[in-house]
Structure 1
Amino acid sequence: MPKITYPLRNECPPGACVCERERLLAEPYADLRPLRLTRMEEQRLIERIERISDYADLKRVQELIKVHLGADLRIEPGPNEVKTVRGIIIVLEERPGLCRKVRQSVPAAVRRCLERNPEIIYRLLDAHDLFGSV
């Protein structure tokens, strides 16, 4: 087992999560980036998401999540007509080591951000070909 020199997320209560933390720690060359997201770092991430002010900033945060956690944050219009923020699909990709609570709290923070900044939703819809090919 490799020596870990940075803090890791505390273990979830048995049966409460499917993050496979122990299996991941047992693998010699496993990607431990998701485990580096401690509860304090999760709070910082949520605060950062809630400070997003425009579409470009949202894309930067998506890229940072990909780099630091190794997981994709998908934000796209749903298959039906988008009338509210609830019509937007927001999913943090499931990865070994990424806690179920994180996979719920990050999309919830993005949804709150979008509700406060509807102009981001318009840019998101436009980026996903809202008007179709003309």
Structure 2
Amino acid sequence: MLTPPPTLPFPIRKECPPGACDCRRELLLDDPHADLRVLRLTKEEEKRLIERIETIASYAELLRIGQRLEEQLGIRLTIAPGPNEVRTVRGFVIDIATVPGLCRKTRQAIPAAIRRCLENRPEIAFAILDAHDLLGQG
């Protein structure tokens, strides 16, 4: 018998259609000690986040967004140059750590938004390379 989701003081993301996602949302809701912060990222909030990421104007702002994702939602974001040459933004490894409750589509949408941001603002891509000492200035 299915138990209803607990009543929470904030709106949570609706469940994905059966078989469409691997987020393990049910396990998260069944555990009374689970970190439910990631469920705060509703579809509407996700759209706002994606729009915000696409309009990032500096590397410092990108770092701040990554820090806030971790603080507010428990989502760890890692952006680094790939193991091969970085000729385009596809050469960056943008990783979202798998967190129970984080939708598969969201794990794909955030890196895609960051890539669009890097395409529109190549100076941020150069700052990432510089931070990893790939431009030889360190």
TM-score (norm. length: structure 1): 0.95
CA distance in 1, matches of 2:131, 2:137: 12
Partner residue of 2:70 out of 63, 66, 71: 66
TM-score (norm 2): 0.92
What secondary structure sits across from 1:17 in the alignment?
Answer: coil
Distance 1:112 1:96 in 2: 26
1:33-44 equivalences under 5 Å are: 33-44=37-48
Structure 1 unaligned spans of 5+: none
The two structures, once aligned, show a CA RMSD in angstroms of 1.5
Over residues 79-127 of structure 1, what are the superposed CA-to-partner deviations in whole Å (9 max), with x where a residue is unaligned?
A: 0011111101111111000000100000000000000000001110000
Is residue 28–residue 34 contact of structure 2 (8 Å, CA) maintained in 1?
yes
**Residue 92 (structure 1) aligns with:** 96
**Structure 1 segment 11-90 matched on structure 2, within 5 A:** 11-90=15-94
Which residues of structure 2 form unaligned runs of 5+?
A: none
Number of corresponding residues: 134
C-alpha contact (below 8 Å) 2:130/2:137 kept by paired residues:
no
TM superposition shift of 1:3:
3.6
With over 3 angstroms needed to count, the CA separation of the structure-2 counterparts of 1:20 and 1:53, relative to structure 1, is: same
What is the rounded CA distance, in whole Å, between the counterparts of 2:78 and 2:31 in structure 1? Answer: 28
State the Cα distance separating 1:131 from its structure 2 match. 3.9
Work out whether residues 24 and 32 of structure 1, in 8 Å CA contact, stay in contact via their aligned partners in 2: yes
- In structure 2, relative to structure 1, the CA distance for the partners of 1:20 and 1:67 (3 Å cut) is same
**Secondary structure class of the residue paired with 2:95:** strand
